[in-house]
Amino acid sequence: MKRRRFKTLRTVQAGQLHHHVYVVLLDPAAGRLAKLRAANPHRDPTKPCVYVGMSGLPPGERFQNHKNGIKASSIVTRYGIRLLPELFTHLNPMPFEAATRMEQDLAEDLRRAGYTVAGGH
């Protein structure tokens, strides 16, 4: 039986922490979409519209994919302005299971704070 070394274990663990949650600022015009308004009945019109997502790619690269139409959310392709790193950088990176749950939790937290939120499924 091969003996595992700490270096090997640490490398495996570090490799599992490559998923990220991210938040995209959307154009205020997105707030006029009926589907988005219905999903956010308690929204504060003074707070911005955002999209919450999760990816195995770095957030900047994932945002560019959205804008280029690669595995993109249509709302980000059409209304995405820029990333809001102040809302997510302290959370990243994490394992897949944690990122899946964090995406939902972050979306719900932002909704409770009055943001108009798309995504976060």
Summarised one tens digit per residue, pLDDT across range 31-72 is 999 999 999 999 999 999 999 999 999 999 999 999 999 999
The answer to whether 75 touches 116, Cβ cutoff 8 Å, is no
In a domain, 96, yes or no: yes
Alpha helix segments (H runs only) across the chain: 6-16, 34-39, 59-67, 74-79, 96-112
The answer to whether 22 touches 59, Cβ cutoff 8 Å, is yes
121 pLDDT band (50/70/90 cuts)?
A: confident
Q: What are phi and psi of 26, to 5 degrees?
A: -105, 150
pLDDT digits (tens, 9 = 90+) for 77-90: 999 999 999 999 99
The count of other CB atoms within 10 Å of the CB of residue 111 is 19
- Overall domain count for the chain: 1
In a domain, 29, yes or no: yes
The answer for residues whose C-beta is within 8 angstroms of residue 2's C-beta and 6 or more apart is: none
In a domain, 87, yes or no: yes
In a domain, 1, yes or no: no
pLDDT above 90 covers a percentage of the chain that reads 83
Which domain range does residue 87 map to? 6-119
The answer to whether 49 touches 115, Cβ cutoff 8 Å, is yes
**5 burial class (0-12, 13-18, 19+ CB within 10 angstroms)?**
exposed
